[in-house]
Amino acid sequence: MSAETTTPVPAPSDFIRDIVAADVAAKRYAKIVTRFPPEPNGYLHIGHAKSICLNFGIAREHSGHCNLRFDDTNPAKEDIEYVNSITHDVKWLVSGWADHCLGLKTKGATPALQTINGKADYYVPPVPQSKIENQESKIEAEPFFASAYFDALHAYAIELIKRGKAYVCDLSPEDTELYRGSPDKPGRNSPFRDRGVAENLDWFARMTAGEFPNATRSLRAKIDMASPNIWLRDPLLYRIRHTHHHQTGSKWCVYPLYDYAHCLSDYIEGITHSLCSLEFEVHRPLYDWILENLDLPRPLPKQYEFAKLRPSYMIVSKRKLLQLVNEGLVTGWDDPRMPTLSGLRRRGVPASAIRKLVHSVGVTKYESVTEIALLEHAIRDDLNKAAERRMAVLRPIKIVLTNIAPGDSIECEAVNNPQSDTPTTRKMNLTRDLFIESDDFAEVPPPKYFRLKPGGDVRLKYACIIHCDEVVKDASGAVVEIRCTADLTTRKGGPNSDRKVKGTIHWVSSSEAIDAEVRLYDRLFTVAEPDADGDFRRHFNPQSLETIGAKLEPALAHIGADAVVQFERLGYFTLDAIDSKSGALVFNRTITLRDNWAK
């Protein structure tokens, strides 16, 4: 029982896909290859989902592939925990949709040097999908890692030095900043800018050998200190960091910077379209400069930028999400209130609903805020078709059907999913004592109240119509039970089964009900843009979690661990993957049903 739907949706169209389509038409590349390049320094969130869906979507639409590559060039901030969670999340999001496009490499593989037209060319091929799936000659595959290219990157750096395009600079970080100037004022050349090739080679070798402390020297591209683009003012390529790396251990003490590593990693993997968010727009000339100045033999990758996903009522910043975790505002990265993929998954949001959201949001260069309603609609739309229905009473109130004898049990047939083309059914037993939702009874009903009220009738779904005869209260005036008579002639197949009443409510037999903990979630923040004033914590919603004890129909004891079910008339719920135990079930509310009445 899976919550995934497989309804085909037309391939989207946007400015990036137009570019790819034009490149395909012009036969510029043999195959379309994209990549999703997270830094393993946090969990993936819904913002990343946009990038994943875009990159895998394009690969899928052109029978190409999309490499999962860890951009792990800064060991100080990264951790193996994150590479594991990210790998898991990417596979989950793409599963059943673009699994076949996931580009992986042979475990342990590093780029091999080949010669094309007399030019040196590093390349690391992906593992063919057939080799991963083939049971006999199965190859162990893993994601790509920028750190697997450190040797190649280092060799390219030496090449840049030899071409007079890079130099070792002895300026301190502070002086480097001073020399860089400011956006409206040109920088000044470093005093070390004009060292000879041999000298640069020697210094770089000594940097690499670990002769110098952190940050005492750097390798810089020799471009233009007066450029109006800051990123062209002799940007750093390598820095000294005596730090253990989660993949390469203590092999290196010099680590490449993003701008240098990224374009070359793309090239080494044969990426054709390198898609990133808008803030890298000003880096694009540097991306191109590095590749062009190496005079590489194969077609170069091109970078294109698009606007990030910014959903309302959420924050999507790894740093700030980490803050929520560290400060204990949530239970962890996978707290069901978190906008992380692991949180959404635990909450019960299907991957297909996230893909649906991304599809409806589109891809542009306009930095918009996406209303959370769009996500909610995608989830409901997906789950309405996929989720089986069950009955659960969240806030029980006792009903006694006085004309049913104690111990009697009347079998009722309930439909599992009315949206299904071939609906199946299950049995539920109507007994003398029941629970209904306390909201479904009103002693003093408001106008146009359809549900149970003194002297009124209501239908118990899949059972029969009942009439409210008496409201029993305790000494304090609180309602303890409601005594009703059941009109068994209104059962399905009975002579009065067509009798109409305005309200139909859900119920469970009190003798058969099972108990469960139910966690009701609401948005994490109380305002649409929690970070607009710089302090998102001020807008934390203290009511974002409510835990209650509920009464469930017995069939709920047997649902699948990752199934999402609709509690009839209430919303969609799923078993909590961490805390739920057999015999002590814990349900998470994924989302409520739309409720026009409540408004």
Give the footprint of RNA on residues 154-193 (CB under 7 A). 169, 171-173, 176-177, 180, 182-184
3-state SS record for 397-445? EEEEECCCCCCCCEEEEEECCCCCCCCCEEEEEECCEEEEEHHHECCCC
- Contacting residue, 96, 454, 503, 554, with RNA by CB under 7 A: 503
CA angle centred on 591, ends 587 and 594, rounded to 5°: 135
Residue type, 550: A
Nearer to RNA (CB atom), residue 436 or residue 545: 436
Nearer to RNA, 88 or 241 (CB): 241
| Minimum CB–partner distance for residue 108 and RNA (Å) | 22
What's the Cα-to-Cα distance from 203 to each of 33, 50, 513, rounded to whole Å? 37, 43, 76
Q: In terms of CB distance, is 63 or 420 closer to RNA?
A: 420
Give the per-residue contact string, 389-408, with RNA (x = CB under 7 A; - = no): x-------------------
Q: Does residue 362 interact with RNA by CB under 7 A?
A: yes
Tell me how far, at minimum, the Cβ of 422 lies from RNA, in Å: 15
CB of residue 41 to RNA, shortest distance in Å? 7
Minimum distance of RNA from residue 598's CB (angstroms)? 7
Query: Based on CB atoms, which residue is closest to RNA, 258 or 521?
Result: 258
C-alpha to C-alpha distance for 158 and 73, rounded to whole angstroms: 18
Q: Does 215 bind RNA (CB under 7 A)?
A: yes
Interface with RNA (CB under 7 A), residue total 94
Bridge partners of residue 99, in order along the sequence: none
Of 106-114, 332-340, 398-406, 497-505, the window that binds RNA (rule: CB under 7 A) is 497-505
Nearer to RNA, 122 or 280 (CB): 280
Q: Using the minimum distance from each CB to RNA, give the nearer residue, 189 or 216.
A: 216
d(CA 125, CA 140): 14
User: Which residues of 54-199 form beta strands (DSSP E)?
Assistant: 65-70, 102-103, 105-106, 112-116, 119-123, 141-142, 144-145, 166-169
How many C-beta neighbours within 10 Å does residue 443 have?
12
Provide, rounded to whole angstroms, the least separation between the CB of residue 403 and RNA. 17
From CA 355, how far away is CA 375, in angstroms rounded? 10
Helix (H) / strand (E) containing 289: helix 284-292
Closer of 357 and 545 to RNA (Cβ): 357
Which residues in 20-79 contact RNA (CB under 7 A)? 37, 39, 71, 73-74, 77
Work out whether 438 is an interface residue with RNA (CB under 7 A).
Answer: no
Q: Is residue 594 near RNA by the rule CB under 7 A?
A: yes
Can you tell me which of 95, 250, 364, 402 binds RNA, judged by CB under 7 A?
Answer: 364
Q: How far is the CB of 567 from RNA (least distance, A)?
A: 8
Residue 359 binds RNA (CB under 7 A): no
Closest CB to RNA among residues 102, 428: 428
Q: Of 559, 468, 568, 554, whose CA–CA distance to 511 is shortest?
A: 554
Nearest distance from residue 528's CB to RNA, in Å?
A: 9
Q: What is the x/- site pattern for RNA, positions 217-256, by CB under 7 A?
A: xx---------xxxx---xx--xxx-------------x-
Least distance in Å: CB of 597 to RNA? 4
360 vs 526 by CB, closer to RNA = 360
Tell me if 303 contacts RNA by CB under 7 A: no
Kindly give the residue spans of alpha helices, DSSP state H, lying in 316-371: 318-326, 341-347, 351-361
Among 380, 523, 551, 589, binds RNA (CB under 7 A): 380
In contact, 526 and 496? CB cutoff 8 Å: no
Binding RNA by CB under 7 A: which of 403, 419, 485, 580? 419
Q: Residue written as tokens 């008579």?
A: 485
The yes or no reply on residue 370 touching RNA (CB under 7 A) is yes
Q: What gap in Å lies between CA 328 and CA 343, rounded to an integer?
A: 15
Contact with RNA (CB under 7 A): which of 283, 346, 432, 589?
A: 283
**For strand 65-70 and strand 144-145, is the pairing parallel, antiparallel, or unpaired?**
parallel
Q: Which two tokens stand for residue 538?
A: 């001020």
Q: Residue 499: helix, strand or coil by DSSP?
A: coil
Contact 585, 556 (CB under 8 A): yes
In the range 262-281, which residues lie near RNA by CB under 7 A? 262, 278-281
| Among the listed residues 66, 124, 141, 363, the single contact to RNA using CB under 7 A | 363
Q: Closest approach of Cβ 361 to RNA, in Å? A: 4
**Per CB under 7 A, which region of 79-87, 454-462, 514-522, 575-583 contacts RNA?**
454-462
Contact 304, 273 (CB under 8 A): yes
**Residue in 411, 443, 533, 595 binding RNA, rule: CB under 7 A:** 595
Interaction of residue 467 with RNA, rule CB under 7 A: no
Residues 567-586 that bind RNA (CB under 7 A): 568-569
From 214-222, 295-303, 325-333, 397-405, give the range in contact with RNA by CB under 7 A. Answer: 214-222
Site residues for RNA, window 83-142 (CB under 7 A)? none
How far, in Å, are 200, 320, 597 from residue 570 at the CA level? 69, 32, 13
**538 binding RNA? (CB under 7 A):** no
Query: What would the two tokens of residue 477 be?
Result: 């005036």
Q: For residues 465 and 545, which CB has a smaller minimum distance to RNA in the complex?
A: 465
Residue 479 sits in the site that holds RNA (CB under 7 A): no
Of residues 240 and 401, the one with the C-beta less far from RNA: 240
**Cβ-based nearer residue to RNA, 92 or 450:** 450
Which region, judged by CB under 7 A, interacts with RNA, from 81-89, 101-109, 190-198, 561-569? 561-569
d(C-alpha 340, C-alpha 335), whole Å = 8
Cα distances (Å, whole numbers) of residue 393 to 2, 436, 450, 517:
23, 6, 18, 11
Let me know: does 66 contact 55? Beta carbons within 8 Å: yes
As a whole number of angstroms, the distance between CA 440 and CA 443 comes to 10
- If one asks whether residue 302 binds RNA (CB under 7 A), the answer comes out as no
Per-residue buried b or exposed e for 132-162, using 16+ beta carbons within 10 Å of the residue's own CB: beeeeeebebbbbbbbbbbebbbebbbbbbe
Can you tell me which of 490, 574, 588, 590 binds RNA, judged by CB under 7 A? Answer: 490
- The amino acid that residue 368 corresponds to is S
Is 558 near RNA (CB under 7 A)?
no
373 burial type by CB count under 10 A (0-12 exposed, 13-18 middle, 19+ buried) = exposed
